[in-house]
Chains A and B, each alone.
Chain A
């Protein structure tokens, strides 16, 4: 069945460091891919998305490229800030139906 696998956390980085959080998926056809962010005590918020192969989603300095050949959607940011400390979830929805599949989340802590 459809699924998402993302790198285990927690991840701790110094401010201005480069961030990569890996995400790979299993799905038939061409799913839509998402990154969500969850700040402490809040619900999930959409960070970025991509709906077809080679699309690049971007928002707030974060980027992720839909790679069909490697079934990946890795999240990157060139220079993290303390305010980026949160839990990040990779997710997909298949190209038919309306179910969503989430990874287990990666906790990021950025220290000054």
Chain B
């Protein structure tokens, strides 16, 4: 299994509070992604990173920011959590083309509840 961990695994917070989710990898892969998974929507990309300090927005980036100061860590921050951000958040990694066929490997997920 690819070495990807997410922390925390579960979190309950209140509306308006900031929340940071962490993704850590031990595979030295270049690309890292944050998705949210909601019933009826499948997986939706929030942000992704293509290197240290290099990030870009996905299709549902509003209300989220990310940072990647080291290859192994990719942080997702909800600046001011809202109930619509209650979801399961998955981190994923992938290597360059030719490295494992550029497939994505997923972390175990973080279940976030915003009250």
Within A32-71, the residues touching B (CB, 8 Å) are 32, 34, 36, 42-46, 49, 51
A-B CB contact pairs (8 Å), 30 listed: A32-B103, A34-B104, A42-B109, A43-B90, A43-B106, A43-B109, A44-B43, A44-B90, A44-B92, A44-B104, A44-B106, A46-B105, A49-B103, A51-B101, A91-B104, A93-B102, A93-B104, A98-B48, A98-B94, A98-B96, A98-B97, A99-B45, A100-B45, A100-B94, A100-B104, A102-B42, A102-B43, A103-B42, A104-B40, A105-B42
In the bound complex, what is the Cα–Cα distance between A43 and B107 (angstroms)? Answer: 6
Interface residues on A, range: 20 to 34
Interface string of B29-58 (1 = CB under 8 A from A): 001010000001111010010100000000
Chain A residues within 8 Å of B, Cβ to Cβ = 32, 34, 36, 42-46, 49, 51, 89, 91, 93, 98-100, 102-105
- B40: which A residues are within 8 A, CB to CB? 104
Which residue in chain A gives the minimum CB-CB distance to B108?
A43
In the bound complex, what is the Cα–Cα distance between A15 and B48 (angstroms)? Answer: 40
CB-CB nearest 6 A-B residue pairs: A104-B42, A43-B106, A44-B106, A102-B43, A43-B108, A98-B31
**Distance in Å: Cβ of A88 to nearest Cβ of chain B:** 11
In the bound complex, what is the Cα–Cα distance between A97 and B96 (angstroms)? Answer: 9
Count residues of chain B with CB under 8 A from any CB of chain A. Answer: 23
- A99: which B residues are within 8 A, CB to CB? 45, 48
- A44: which B residues are within 8 A, CB to CB? 43, 90, 92, 104, 106
In the bound complex, what is the Cα–Cα distance between A49 and B107 (angstroms)? Answer: 19
- B92: which A residues are within 8 A, CB to CB? 44, 100
Interface string of B68-109 (1 = CB under 8 A from A): 000000000000000000000010101011000111111111
**Distance in Å: Cβ of B52 to nearest Cβ of chain A:** 15
**Distance in Å: Cβ of B45 to nearest Cβ of chain A:** 7
Among A45, A49, A93, A98, the most chain B Cβ lie within 10 Å of the Cβ of A98
